[in-house]
């Protein structure tokens, strides 16, 4: 089996080093997922490996699949097939894909996964879609701190390996603390004994031999002091094992929390949703209760964004919204940002939370203290998305409507957003095609299918088959497990306890 490799890969932009990789290698037919935070150089590495002057040896036929883009004249499935036909027709030994799932709905992502499974050759793909990585790859390349870390498994294996590494770091830290305290205690005991050793026993005081005895005890003290000094030196020379970082769940309150977390806050009755006189969804009957985390699902073009827009405007008499509800709407256009202001100025201008909470949320999303005074105009697209999400999350809104919030986010930012939304005490209605994100955040899902809005609350009375119900039960149990982990760290958090109670009730009903 052919083994491809490259050595001493370096990429600099100006005076900044992007990556410095001593060696990388892979076998023919390997499926490799390239991951890492935005800006670490993933696309640069992909282009370098796929170029005509690629450092890979031996030589191989390569094909770079460009990012799959929407096309007004083609359906999502037709677009995927068109790109895949180009790929397979190339007869390449290695194909490179850069974020192939970004503009695809779940149905077409699954179609892409199935097609790639049958490809006879090597696949190297950049993706932030964790479920896609689980289904298509067998090796993770993590580009971090200018270097490449290799994990021989899919994304779940990588995640478990990182978790194990963190657990090992905690174990080493605690063992170091025990050894350090034992040595500190032994040093204190030895020092006390040393100080006592200078005293001549009372029965010998006044004796002619007291002078000689005093000399003996002075020598004894010297020997013991030498031992104390040696123990202190050993203590000072012990390598410092740093305490691993831990993120505690964020405790925050939302505007009118008590009023909007009791019963229904949004009701839609018999609404026909249209766009440009074309019927998208027929006879919508839909209700959201306070505290729900609702995933709005459906194929591209089915009417998800249009429904969010209509709810945001709520001009139609068939849409009733609680008087205390304040909507915070995240749109891909990022219209809420002032690019001439700093990150901190943008967020605090509408914040319902104090500055400490603002800084905490920004840090969770990857904005450390040295970044928050940067102007938004200098930020990348992904960084602007994070600022917009933070601005809405921290505002006086108590119903968050998020249209594809994970687009342009790296895995680290998506994990942070998941935790923020899961612990958010308000209500969330969101659109996403990221299945992993859906499983971690949603407590309920509604799906647009055949021009109907199908609510999981009534799926036992609908045409949903047994497999759909099993899939939804698994989603709820995944969320329940996440809450158990969070409650183990913060058992008295009322929002976590309430969320756990709701999830458990839903599981019991199913």
Strands ordered across the beta sheet of 319-321: 278-289, 264-275, 319-321
Q: What is the mean pLDDT of residues 106-130?
A: 92
Q: Predicted confidence band at 97 (pLDDT cuts at 50, 70, 90)?
A: very high
Write the pLDDT tens digit of every residue in 150-201: 999 999 999 999 999 989 998 999 998 898 898 888 888 888 887 776 555 5
Any idea what the Cα angle at residue 144 is, between residues 138 and 149, rounded to 5°? 40
Tell which residue, 158, 195, 144, 146, has the closest CA to residue 32. Answer: 158
Q: Predicted confidence band at 207 (pLDDT cuts at 50, 70, 90)?
A: low
Tell which residue, 8, 419, 469, 462, has the closest CA to residue 246. Answer: 419
How many residues comprise the chain? 510
Q: Predicted confidence band at 464 (pLDDT cuts at 50, 70, 90)?
A: very low
Q: What is the mean pLDDT of residues 345-350?
A: 95
Tell which residue, 304, 307, 325, 324, has the closest CA to residue 316. Answer: 307
How much is the pLDDT for 499? 76
Q: Which value, to the nearest 10 degrees, does the dihedral of the CA atoms of residues 333, 338, 344, 348 take? A: -90
Strands, E assignment, 299-354:
319-321, 327-330
Q: Predicted confidence band at 130 (pLDDT cuts at 50, 70, 90)?
A: very high
How much is the pLDDT for 463? 42
Interatomic CA distance for residues 455 and 444, integer angstroms: 8
Interatomic CA distance for residues 245 and 251, integer angstroms: 18
Q: Please tell me the number of Cα atoms within 13 Å of 61 on its side-chain side.
A: 9
Q: E strand or H helix at 70, and its extent?
A: none
Any idea what the Cα angle at residue 429 is, between residues 382 and 418, rounded to 5°? 50
Q: Exposed/middle/buried for 444, CB within 10 Å: 0-12, 13-18, 19+?
A: buried
Residues of the chain with pLDDT > 90, as a percent, come to: 54
How much is the pLDDT for 486? 73
Q: Predicted confidence band at 503 (pLDDT cuts at 50, 70, 90)?
A: confident
Residue 430 three-state SS: strand
Lowest mean pLDDT among 52-61, 66-75, 101-110, 284-293: 66-75
How much is the pLDDT for 303? 93
Write the pLDDT tens digit of every residue in 264-283: 899 999 999 998 889 999 99
What mean pLDDT, rounded, does the chain reach?
86
Lowest mean pLDDT among 137-146, 207-216, 304-313: 207-216
CA 507 to chain centre: 25
Between residues 252 and 289, the one the model is more confident about: 289
Contact 433, 70 (CB under 8 A): no
């Amino acid at each position: 089996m052919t083994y491809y490799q490259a050595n001493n890969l370096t990429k600099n932009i100006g005076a900044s080093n992007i990556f410095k990789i001593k060696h990388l290698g892979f076998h023919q037919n390997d499926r490799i997922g390239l991951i890492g935070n935005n800006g670490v150089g993933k696309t640069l590495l992909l282009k370098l490996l796929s170029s005509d002057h690629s450092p890979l040896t031996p030589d191989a036929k390569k094909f770079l699949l460009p990012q799959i883009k929407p096309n007004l004249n083609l359906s999502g499935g037709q677009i995927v097939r068109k790109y895949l036909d180009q790929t397979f027709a190339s007869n390449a030994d290695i194909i490179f894909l850069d974020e192939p799932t970004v503009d695809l709905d779940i149905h077409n992502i699954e179609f892409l996964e199935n097609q790639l499974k049958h490809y006879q050759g090597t696949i190297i793909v950049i993706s932030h879609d964790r479920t896609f990585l689980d289904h298509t790859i067998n090796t993770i390349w993590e580009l971090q701190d200018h270097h490449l870390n290799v994990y021989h498994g899919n994304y779940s294996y990588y995640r478990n390996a990182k978790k194990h590494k963190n657990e090992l770091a905690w174990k080493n830290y605690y063992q170091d603390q025990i050894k350090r305290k034992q040595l500190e205690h032994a040093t204190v005991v030895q020092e006390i004994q040393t100080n006592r050793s200078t005293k001549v026993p009372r029965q010998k005081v006044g004796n002619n031999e007291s002078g000689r005895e005093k000399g003996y005890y002075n020598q004894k003290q010297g020997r013991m002091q030498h031992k104390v000094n040696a123990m202190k030196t050993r203590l000072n020379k012990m390598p410092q094992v740093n305490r691993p970082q831990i993120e505690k769940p964020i405790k925050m309150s939302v505007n009118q929390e008590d009023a909007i977390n009791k019963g229904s806050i949004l009701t839609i009755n018999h609404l026909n949703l249209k766009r440009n006189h074309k019927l998208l969804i027929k006879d919508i009957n839909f209700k959201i209760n306070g505290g729900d985390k609702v995933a709005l699902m459906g194929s591209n073009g089915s009417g998800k964004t249009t429904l969010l827009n209509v709810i945001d405007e709520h001009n139609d008499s068939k849409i009733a919204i609680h008087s205390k509800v304040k909507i915070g709407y995240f749109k891909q256009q990022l219209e809420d940002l002032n690019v001439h202001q700093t990150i901190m100025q943008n967020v605090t201008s509408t914040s319902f939370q104090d500055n400490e909470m603002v800084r905490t949320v920004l840090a969770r999303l990857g904005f450390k203290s040295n970044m928050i005074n940067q102007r938004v105009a200098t930020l990348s697209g992904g960084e602007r998305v994070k600022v917009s999400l933070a601005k809405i999350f921290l505002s006086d809104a108590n119903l968050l409507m998020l249209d594809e919030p994970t687009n342009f986010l790296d895995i680290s930012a998506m994990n942070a957003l998941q935790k923020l939304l899961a612990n958010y005490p308000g209500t969330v209605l969101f659109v996403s095609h990221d299945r992993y994100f859906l499983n971690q955040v949603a407590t309920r899902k509604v799906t647009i299918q055949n021009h109907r809005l199908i609510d999981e609350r009534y799926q036992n009375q609908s045409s949903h088959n047994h497999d759909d119900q099993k899939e939804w039960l698994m989603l709820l149990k995944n969320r329940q497990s996440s809450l158990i982990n969070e409650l183990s760290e913060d058992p008295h958090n009322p929002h976590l306890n309430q969320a756990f109670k709701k999830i458990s009730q839903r599981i019991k009903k199913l």
